[in-house]
Homo-oligomer: A and B are copies of this chain.
Amino acid sequence: MTVLRRHPDVHGAGLSIVEWRAIIDSAYSGAGHGAIRNVDEARGGHFDAIFVGGGSAGRFGAAVLRSLGGRALVLERWPFLGGSCPHQACVPHHLFSEAARELDQWQALQGRLWFPPFDPAAASILELVQLFRAQRSGPHAHMNWQSADQLGIEFVVNTEAEVLDTRTVRAAGRAYTADALVLATGSRAALPGIEGEGLPGVFDYASLVEDLDYEPRRIVVIGGSKVAVEYGSFFRAVGRPTTIVSRSALLTSGGPARMDADLRQFVVDGMRTRGIDVLEHSVATRIVGDGRVQGVEVLTPSGTQFLEADFVLLGTGEEAVTDSFADALPLRYDPRGFVAVDDRMRTNLDGVYAAGDVIGPPMEMFKSRRSGTTAARTIMGLDAEFHYQDIPDFLHTTYEVTWAGLTEDEARARFGDVATIQLPPRGMSPGDTPLPMAEGSMLYGFTLPERTGFQKCVIDPGSRKVVGIHHAGYGAKTAFQYLHHLMSRPAGLTIDELGDMNELYISSDYFVGYARLRANQATLTSM
């Protein structure tokens, strides 16, 4: 094991993932190290670009800049690259959502097959948080190892960076210069600004991971978008009474504003069936407590309610983190406080770019990575643009919920009549058929057929193109990356091309097989 001094220079040390993990763990415990430098000092302190922030935008941007022959430096306050995703956001969320899927299945199948009666004391939110907290440096270490060893990225981590001007950044007592800066400092949870939001027992997605030290027993989630739905589903699956308080109808604003109405209905019905109390068109007006949270006052369409709670999760949006550069740079921001950029990730300041969460929603990995690589390409003189109006999207309840393209309503508005392929078939009670039973919902297919999922494909009968795909189930999320790409080509994806593919039966989506059943129809009809 390599022993490191304070402010160690690890350049060329060839650290293994196991060694990186020990370094990150000791840095995080406060026991050791200041800044950890992986910089080729022989090449001096000037770079083609400095990425301020080593999350996915900075890391992917730096990798591509280097692929193009440039020299990149990444500066990061945490002792690892990869950013908030593996530390507080998407990775723990996926761990919790997988636990939710398993625990939901246990509740659903209790007393059948090998499932004993469900025991809400068996699973613990605290234990899952502690498991994540104890093990999260594993992915962190992989990122550092990969960045240094496989990608050849230069970086200084475990240090606060301070932007001095459009060409100079100070970190760990050194000033580094570059021809370009890429601001990629991310986002954090935005507070709703209500009384009591600072009480112990009130958390956001990040402080949940960092600070939880007791087992929540009765939960209120404030918010109606992805974070609220995902964490609310998790808490309920563990067996905790959970209420979601949402200003608008659930999943109709914020991130997933363009969910197909039938898909949304399946998802929200499923949440209610599982016992989640959903208060829509309701506003949390005050969090009540006496030293710690005791409940939430809510204004509902039928009057004021008091919801008892020993745990409140705020899922009320995110704001840009600009501390390290706001004073030094006269940047233009959008109305919500995110750094304004154009399609090439250029800010209003010459040579200053921004990427990742700091430029605003969607707060998704592909946007973060691709905005970082777009900045890198632009800096290196390539003709790079990145548009993210038409994107695939997803969320978790106890299902993977994924969609891309147009909703049925949008398609009808655009094309007039449309053909749809849908499972369960339109108008049929989901309990009357086990379909779309598939990879991941086989046990339900033979026990609780109404739980197998929902899928819909929307086709413009004129062009025969697939214009929208919508799915709740398991195992189709990854497929939507490629389906969306096929749909986004200038030629689009016709139902006939789809039907000529080779399906891997039982696939989680029935799109290929059902398209084949309708292929060759001169006038497409729904099914």
Q: Which A residues form the contact surface with B (CB < 8 A)?
A: 16-18, 60, 63-64, 67-69, 85, 90-91, 94-95, 97-99, 102-103, 105-106, 113-114, 116, 119, 122-124, 127-128, 131-132, 135, 138-139, 141-142, 146, 150-151, 364-367, 369-370, 373, 377, 388, 391-394, 400, 402, 425, 428, 432-435, 437-440, 442-443, 445-447, 449, 474-486, 500-509, 512-513, 516-522, 527
A119 to B124, CA, bound (A): 22
Assuming the A-B contacts A18-B432, A114-B123, A447-B131, are A85 and B138 also in contact, with contact meaning beta carbons closer than 8 angstroms in the complex? Answer: no
Instruction: Report 15 cross-chain contacts, Cβ distance below 8 Å, ordered by A residue.
Output: A17-B433, A67-B519, A67-B520, A68-B520, A85-B505, A95-B442, A95-B445, A113-B128, A138-B433, A142-B435, A366-B503, A366-B505, A388-B502, A474-B475, A481-B501
| List of B residues within 8 angstroms of A503 by Cβ | 365-366, 369, 481
Assuming the A-B contacts A63-B517, A373-B516, A433-B142, are A135 and B505 also in contact, with contact meaning beta carbons closer than 8 angstroms in the complex? Answer: no
A206 to B17, CA, bound (A): 48
Q: Within the complex, which residue of B142, B438, B479, B521 is in contact with A482, where a contact is CB–CB below 8 Å? A: B479
| List of B residues within 8 angstroms of A366 by Cβ | 501-505, 512
| List of B residues within 8 angstroms of A504 by Cβ | 365-366, 392-394, 402, 477-478, 480-481
**CB nearest to A95 among chain B residues:** B442
Q: Within the complex, which residue of B434, B500, B521 is in contact with A138, where a contact is CB–CB below 8 Å? A: B434
Q: How far is the CB of A473 from chain B (nearest CB, A)?
A: 10
- Asked if A482 and B506 sit within 8 Å, CB to CB, the answer is no
Given contacts A99-B443, A367-B502, 19 further A-B contacts (CB under 8 A): A18-B432, A64-B517, A98-B442, A102-B443, A114-B123, A116-B116, A138-B449, A141-B433, A365-B504, A365-B505, A366-B504, A377-B520, A388-B502, A440-B475, A474-B475, A478-B507, A478-B508, A480-B504, A486-B486
A278 to B474, CA, bound (A): 31
Assuming the A-B contacts A94-B439, A392-B504, are A151 and B402 also in contact, with contact meaning beta carbons closer than 8 angstroms in the complex? Answer: no
- Asked if A91 and B502 sit within 8 Å, CB to CB, the answer is no
Q: Within the complex, which residue of B122, B146, B428, B478 is in contact with A17, where a contact is CB–CB below 8 Å? A: B428
- Asked if B516 and A369 sit within 8 Å, CB to CB, the answer is yes
- Asked if B527 and A150 sit within 8 Å, CB to CB, the answer is yes
**CB nearest to A390 among chain B residues:** B502
| List of B residues within 8 angstroms of A95 by Cβ | 442-443, 445-446
**CB nearest to A238 among chain B residues:** B114
| List of B residues within 8 angstroms of A97 by Cβ | 442
**CB nearest to A121 among chain B residues:** B114
- Asked if A440 and B98 sit within 8 Å, CB to CB, the answer is yes
Q: How far is the CB of A519 from chain B (nearest CB, A)?
A: 7
| List of B residues within 8 angstroms of A509 by Cβ | 478
| List of B residues within 8 angstroms of A486 by Cβ | 482, 485-486
| List of B residues within 8 angstroms of A391 by Cβ | 502
- Asked if B481 and A478 sit within 8 Å, CB to CB, the answer is no
Which of A135, A366, A394 has the largest count of B CB atoms less than 10 A from its CB?
A366
**CB nearest to A508 among chain B residues:** B478
- Asked if A482 and B501 sit within 8 Å, CB to CB, the answer is yes
- Asked if A527 and B435 sit within 8 Å, CB to CB, the answer is no
Q: How far is the CB of A209 from chain B (nearest CB, A)?
A: 13
Q: Within the complex, which residue of B18, B392, B505 is in contact with A502, where a contact is CB–CB below 8 Å? A: B392
Assuming the A-B contacts A17-B432, A127-B113, A443-B98, are A90 and B505 also in contact, with contact meaning beta carbons closer than 8 angstroms in the complex? Answer: yes
| List of B residues within 8 angstroms of A370 by Cβ | 500, 502, 516
**CB nearest to A503 among chain B residues:** B366
- Asked if A517 and B127 sit within 8 Å, CB to CB, the answer is no
Q: How far is the CB of A393 from chain B (nearest CB, A)?
A: 8
| List of B residues within 8 angstroms of A116 by Cβ | 116, 122
Which of A97, A139, A481, A503 has the largest count of B CB atoms less than 10 A from its CB?
A481
